[in-house]
A and B are shown apart, each in its own frame.
Chain A
Amino acid sequence: MTQSFRLESGGLIDRDKKISFKFNGKNYFGYEGDTLASALIANGVHLIGRSFKYHRPRGFFGAGVDEPYAIVQLYRNGETEPNIKATEQELFEGLEAKSVNCWPSVNFDVGAINNFLKIFLPAGFYYKTFMWPKSFWYKIYEPFIRRAAGLGTASIKHDKERYEHKYEYCDLLITGSGPSGLASAYSAAKNGAKVILAEDKSRFGGTLLTSEVNIGNQSGKEWADSIISELKEMPNVTVKNRSQVFGYYDHNMLVMSERISDHLPKTKKFHPKQRLWYIRAKEVLISSGSIERPIVFGNNDTPGVMLSSAAKEYLKVYGVLVGKKPLVFTNNDSGYETAIEFKKNGIDPIILDTRKEPKSEIIEEAQNMNINIKNSYVVVAAQGYKKVKSADVAKISDNKEELGSIENIECDCICVSGFWTPTIHLASQSGNKTKFNEDIDAFVPGISKQNEKTLGAANGIYTLEETLKDSFEKGNLLSKKITNNENKFSFPNVVEKKSTVHDKFWCVPLPKGKNYKRFLDFQNDVAVSDIEIALKEGYRSIEHVKRYTTLGMATDQGKTSNLNGLQLVSKIENKVVPAVGHTTFRPPYSPVSIGAIVGREVGKHSKPTRKSPMHSWHEKNNAVFVDAGVWLRPRYYKRGEENLFEASKREAKNVRTNVGVCDVTTLGKIDIKGPDAAELLNRVYTNAWLKLPVGKARYGVMLREDGIVMDDGTTTRISENHYHMTTTTAQAANVLSHLEYYLQLVWPELNVNVVSTTEQWAGAAIAGPKSRELLKKLFPNSDVTNEGLPFMGYMEGDLFGVKAKIFRISFSGELAYEVNVESDNGYFMWEKIIEAGEEFGIQPYGTEALSTLRIEMGHVAGSELDGRTIPYDNSLEGLLSKKKDFIGKRSLSRKAFAAKDRQKIVGVVPLDKKTSIPEGSHLVKDSNAPLPNPKLGYISASCWSVEHDNPFSLAILKDGKNMIGEKLFVMSPLKNKIIPVEIVSSHYVDPKGERVRS
């Protein structure tokens, strides 16, 4: 197949390297250095997709990041990616792409019927058309709209590519490698500053690649190449292509996405696909250039209508003709440059200039080349459906309101230039107060909030000489401030053609009797008429107009549509553009892949995984693990075909009858030292701590200042001024911060030091009636009798040569101990316990059995201490000291907390003693009461009581104190269950607590 629109020579592509690719199932070829867009245009393909709302045919509009139309579904190395701009995607061997938003095909699209139904799809149609009947929304309207709209399909497969994050610091970050970026980077680098120069495209140089200029006796491109190669050699400079700075955040933090492998058939081994850079820059120079804006006219979305600068770029960079009968429609001199390029390549363009008698060097050159120029002419409408076939043109009156008679000119493309819009996105994101520049009819950066400056075209400076001068100077000044070093060099001689002022014309009036669609936003299909409707309906703020019409809300963020939209609103409202203001620019400047944002934090890497020193033993013994915060804990140890329920019941029962061992390493541990340690505990915990003897542990509850229980645990006095505090697994970090807060800010006079020792100690809870026998075997030299080590006692022991801490504390409600050894000895300890426990029938137990044991004992845990309960609610009021003040005490006397019918923890047993009760269910008096049925309480935790062999739950129940013996109903609409229950004491087993003391 021949590339009928490729020139014989020219362009920056490598014609020796042919690349084959597929578009919509058809094979084509292009060259290395092509984008998907340039290769398709070279092959004469202009129909690339369908529009979002009306499914009108879509072609190419731009040649880069501003492209609103040419969005494709990309297939690469067995993966697919939506929303890829064909104008940005570099061609690689085997590339495959497909059109989006069309069915069954781009040539015949059923959705195009919307184009004829457009009276039903006006501005805000989401809010109007599909409202009634209400029940239709979920089942009919929404699925239909979702299928019809959208710009591609996300892959549902796991993305096997690698994405990385990098943090970087620099003196100057320069965003864009056009003339201003190169000049400022050069002078800053010469002064020794640490510079990062980022270029979005694969080639450096920006407009220097396409403009006919001369710098220091070199062509623009040659100069750019020489500067870049010099910069690349400098150790203080990082030069990055395919790297877009897309977000400007607080305190000069910018984020850049580097596309490392997207241009390759597949990612190289050990390379990431993309890398996200977080750059903290001392100074930022924004050299992002400008984007040509269109002139609005009838059917201006027809394939073949495109920006004149894009047509020039396709010619000069890719050697590709966007058409062979071009019409250039312009209100400024830029259009002439495009026409001249066509002419140089043997194509005869026609220029329609809205201006009456413009004069400049560029125009003179075009005249000298005998280019057909029609002054005071406009394109009224493009004709042709899937491609421009001709244009209706007319003379326009001096006041730009009256059209002359319509003439039809045959053409195959219309290159539009409505002057230039500075790319102020990054400056605006930084908080810069932008201002309107009347001369260029666009917003430019104004007062900076952060350390940023905008250069060149992005700042509304459109001549090369001025741009270079300003950029060399800014780069020099800013870097000099940082490095205290100035390296002078002579300013190069610049030759460029002078241009004259542009015409502020932006929208062609409709001829009488015609109702052409005139589009403003090409990606979201927002036409002039939509804005008019929105304003008629009373929308005034530009932010509201934007949301109602979706102007500028597409993935291109209105790069080509915003200003024309503002012009229209200001014209209808009879206000000046700056009074209308512009909508807020937000990151990202251009879409960024989710993969790049997430980076390496996927799957197992999305959070740290902490394992106890005994983890491998659990693995070897068929533990089934559960996430407990960042920890992995054994939930149960599977034997044979057991399920969770059977295994946890077996394990819990064994604790009640023999002895079990549980890995409690994950409990938070805080080492507290200092002469005022007891005083700190006395203020933090609700009970008294000043008289706790050395070698004793005590259970404590700590509150937040608002009286809500924060955490509970035991703290042991190791020596005179040394305490060992334990916290729940979940609250460990919060409790440490809490203590630090009071010690550093509230009571700095307390002489206490706290430090987390969670990871220093491995812990094993040994529980069950035979635990003391086991302990005797483990510590033959220690007196672990009831007298030697009573309940809540503490001692140090020698575990076969390993130093151990022995606490007589119990969560299970059985006679129980906790043994701690240094983490490195954890595995050894565990093996010894299992070995020595064999004769007593020891079994390890997991968190499920642990829960069962504590629930039937009525011991509270995280599901009761859920940030909504006070001590009374958990029957912990006995621990509230009356003699001293403590954190949160004052709040407990608040009216609601002291109410007589305050909620309280109770036990719940189903009347049939069989039906298990779902956690989170509600308790009600009457299951048949009309909805909403008054809720009396909720089930906080459920288990199968191994002691009573029936289901048992804990609940937080209103007036729980007086509800024992009542018959209520548990309702779980989610599980569709109504269970008659009886309210009992929360202490379902050993209510007097005799076992722990036995």
Chain B
Amino acid sequence: MLHIKCPHCGLRSQNEFSYGGDATVKRPELGKEISDQDWDNFVYNRKSLRGKHWELWQHLSGCRQWIKVQRDTATHEIFKTLKANEEIS
């Protein structure tokens, strides 16, 4: 079970969190023209990376904040966690 450092609450067990997918995907702006290809990429197409990956988790049974977690998908090592409003650098 992972040990995830919630930037708001501290280290907590994985079972308090739920996974929310790739954190680097940006939702296209509302009302803006967008090609089928770009929209499909936003909705469906994801890379299944091996290695460092920025992903979203929600601290569901805690502060309910969505957070960004940099995790190695092969080793499960967690390098960094950010609040929702902090930019991935």
Contacts and interface: CB of A to CB of B under 8 A. Distances in A.
Contacts of B18: 737
A891 B42 CA distance: 11
Contacts of A746: 27
Contacts of A890: 28, 34, 39
Interface stretch (A203-211, A245-253, A758-766, A909-917): A245-253
B3 A280 contact: yes
Given A250-B76, A705-B27, A737-B58, 5 more contacts: A251-B1, A252-B3, A431-B75, A741-B66, A891-B43
A706 B76 contact: no
A776 interface: no
Contacts, number: 55
26 contacts: A250-B1, A251-B1, A251-B3, A252-B3, A253-B3, A253-B13, A278-B1, A280-B13, A431-B75, A683-B30, A705-B27, A705-B43, A706-B44, A737-B18, A737-B58, A740-B58, A740-B64, A741-B58, A741-B66, A744-B65, A745-B56, A745-B84, A748-B84, A890-B34, A890-B39, A894-B36
Interface in A241-282: 249-253, 278, 280
Contacts of A744: 65-66, 84-85
- Top 7 nearest A-B pairs (CB, nearest first) are A251-B3, A744-B84, A885-B31, A885-B30, A744-B66, A250-B76, A253-B1
A885 B30 CA distance: 6
A748 B85 contact: yes
A639 interface: no
Nearest to B28: A890
B9 interface: no
B36 A249 contact: no
Given A744-B65, A745-B66, A891 B39 contact: yes
A705 B34 CA distance: 14
Given A250-B1, A740-B66, A748-B85, A705 B31 contact: no
A884 interface: yes
A449 B76 CA distance: 10
Contacts of B84: 744-745, 748
Nearest to A755: B64
Interface residues of B, number: 27
The main secondary structure of chain B at its interface with chain A is loop
Interface in A718-746: 737, 740-741, 744-746
A146 B30 CA distance: 60
A210 B45 CA distance: 62
A278 B14 CA distance: 13
Nearest to A249: B1
A576 B5 CA distance: 44
Interface of B: 1-3, 13, 18, 20, 27-28, 30-31, 34, 36, 39, 42-44, 56, 58, 60, 64-66, 75-76, 78, 84-85
B4 to A, nearest CB: 9
Nearest to A884: B31
Interface residues of A, number: 25
A27 B56 CA distance: 63
A249 B14 CA distance: 12
Interface in A880-932: 884-886, 890-891, 894
A731 to B, nearest CB: 15
Contacts of A705: 27, 42-43
A740 B18 CA distance: 13
B27 A250 contact: no
Contacts of A745: 56, 66, 84
Nearest to B83: A744
A706 B43 contact: yes
Contacts of B20: 741
Interface in A740-786: 740-741, 744-746, 748
Contacts of A741: 20, 58, 66
A668 to B, nearest CB: 15
Contacts of B2: 250-251
B43 to A, nearest CB: 5
Nearest to A742: B27
Given A741-B20, A748-B85, A449 B75 contact: yes
Contacts of B60: 737
Nearest to A890: B39
A737 B1 CA distance: 22
